[in-house]
Amino acid sequence: MGKPTGFIEYLRETPLDRSPIERVKDWREFHHHLDDRSLRNQAARCMDCGVPFCHTGKMISGGAAGCPVNNLIPEWNDLVYRGLWREALDRLHKTNNFPEFTGRVCPAPCEGSCVLGINAPPVTIKNIENTIIERGFEEGWVVPEPPKTRTGKKVAVVGSGPAGLAAAQQLNRAGHTVTVLERADRPGGLLMYGIPNMKLDKQDVVMRRIKLLEQEGIKFICNTNVGDNYEAQMMRRDFDAIVLCTGATQPRDLPVEGRQLSGVHFAMDYLTGATDSVLSKNPAAAALHAKGLDVVVIGGGDTGTDCVGTAMRQGCRTLTQFEIMSKPPMERAADNPWPEWPRVYKMDYGQEEAAAKFGQDPRAYLTTVKKLVGDETGRVKEIVTVEVRWEKNERGQFAPIEQAGAERTQPAQLVLLAMGFTGPETVLPQDLGIEFDDRRNVKAEYGNYATNSPGVFAAGDCRRGQSLVVWAINEGRGAARECDRWLMGSTELP
């Protein structure tokens, strides 16, 4: 490393964000940027530790530990410290097709596994990654790279989320003719409609990459719902191979009294409508709008946070977020050691904004919903909750137990269900005769990605279940490699 004592000399520093009160007035990204000198100091904190867990990409105790795409983090940290930005970009692109996405929306399991993080704040890996790729775009280093020759093979990629885009780019690099089929009106899948604009800009970031992929020779066909307005068997006829990257889009429902009331919606329906209105340059016209309403978000995680941030920008009157789990500790618990993902308390951007306006973190922990109460028009007006505690049941499993006398009723005219997803939609896999695993995901072995149907591969959330963008990129790359091997008998794809 260029600065062996950097981790001793420099403290962790991240860019300041725009103030929460100010940024909720618009839908623009809210991060500022560090200057070159500060960035090089941050890169100098990388330790040359010899055992860089940051890029291991393992699942430990149910969570990602290290980078799932195995980014060469120590290498590009050293290059940034030396001011060799072009070389750092080359290293970054060796493993990650879309660092501008992961540099914005990834929760950074690499930082959770940073060796420096054992006894000090970890290296600012995510921010450095994002700065490298943005520097690349600014300098004109990121350009279309179409293949020199074509194989004559045609591949359909169904779904244009991160897994689909990664698979498409890799297969295109192998020389195949790739068509991406997307049922929405714009390409990008989760990146376009599942993540709000202030977290991931659609025109300046997502469409910038989509246009590059088109210039490389990839064809995107939107408004194409395979199994509905385009028959699955026609797709089989038209293409030599198929890669399914349809995501895990079946939302987990809330089976309580009053669920049928108007004003109760799945989080993704709400977020999709909000993003569509922003892209149409008329945010006030969103079909589901929080202005002047008491909003309740049920469920935590990134999707819940995005609902909070969206409702804040739409001008909600009040906001509460319920989580059935207990509040995480401020520091790692004894059963959550490094290099596991640190399950600790943090305020994400949405909670910061709600706290700035309403005076406190909007989350209420150890709380579950009892019922929803409607008015005379059939619209939700109140939500009844109860506090719980977690105890072992007769089978030795921890389960939530309602606390006697701990019920609470509060006003709610918009209730958003952000409790995760149960798996992929089943119509298309069934039309292709594809088997499901015990979790109702598309059955395809990790590392192989082949389904039981010859020439059909699966990657991303439809195969592994709800997961991270960075895992989707990992799987898209892997599925492309195995698809290329199946088509050609061998492969040079990583």
Helical ranges in 28-96 per DSSP H: 36-44, 73-81, 85-95
Contact 129, 103 (CB under 8 A): yes
Q: Which two tokens stand for residue 104?
A: 């914005």
- Cα separation, 308 vs 305, whole angstroms: 5
Contact 295, 412 (CB under 8 A): yes
- Give the three-state DSSP class for 249: coil
* Count of C-beta atoms within a 10 Å radius of residue 94: 14
The torsion angles phi and psi of 274, rounded to 5 degrees, stand at -65, -45
> Of 180, 140, 139, nearest to 159 (Cα)?
180
Q: What is the DSSP letter of 56?
A: -
Contact 74, 52 (CB under 8 A): yes
Q: Which fold has domain 6-139?
A: Fumarate Reductase Iron-sulfur Protein; Chain B, domain 2 (1.10.1060)
The pLDDT assigned to 389 comes to 96
The pLDDT assigned to 1 comes to 65
Q: What letter represents residue 224's amino acid?
A: T
The pLDDT assigned to 3 comes to 87
Q: Which fold has domain 154-249+421-488?
A: FAD/NAD(P)-binding domain (3.50.50)
Of the candidate CATH numbers 3.50.50.60, 3.30.1360.70, 3.40.50.720, 3.40.640.10, the domain formed by 253-417 belongs to 3.50.50.60
Does 6-139 match 253-417 in CATH topology? no
- From residue 459, alpha-carbon distances to 107, 399, 417 in Å are 20, 32, 26
- Cα separation, 400 vs 389, whole angstroms: 5
Burial class (CB in 10 A: 0-12, 13-18, 19+), 21: exposed
The pLDDT assigned to 11 comes to 96
The pLDDT assigned to 219 comes to 98
- Cα separation, 91 vs 298, whole angstroms: 41
Buried b (16+ CB within 10 A) or exposed e, 375-413: eeeeebbbbbbbbbeeeeeeeeeeebeeeeeeeeeeebb
> Of 436, 488, 494, 463, nearest to 158 (Cα)?
463
Helix/strand/coil (H, E, C) string of 118-156?
A: HCCCCCCHHHHHHHHHHHHHHHCCCCCCCCCCCCCCEEE
Question: Which sequence spans correspond to the domains of the chain?
Answer: 6-139, 154-249+421-488, 253-417
The torsion angles phi and psi of 420, rounded to 5 degrees, stand at 95, -170
Contact 269, 289 (CB under 8 A): no
Q: Give the mean pLDDT per block of 10 residues along the chain (494 residues).
A: 87 95 96 93 91 89 92 95 97 98 97 94 97 98 97 98 98 98 97 97 97 98 95 96 97 97 98 97 95 97 96 98 96 94 95 98 97 98 97 90 95 98 96 96 97 98 96 98 98 97
- From residue 301, alpha-carbon distances to 8, 73, 108, 126, 321 in Å are 34, 26, 14, 19, 11
Looking at 219-324, which runs of residues are DSSP E strands? Answer: 219-221, 241-244, 250-251, 264-266, 294-298, 318-322
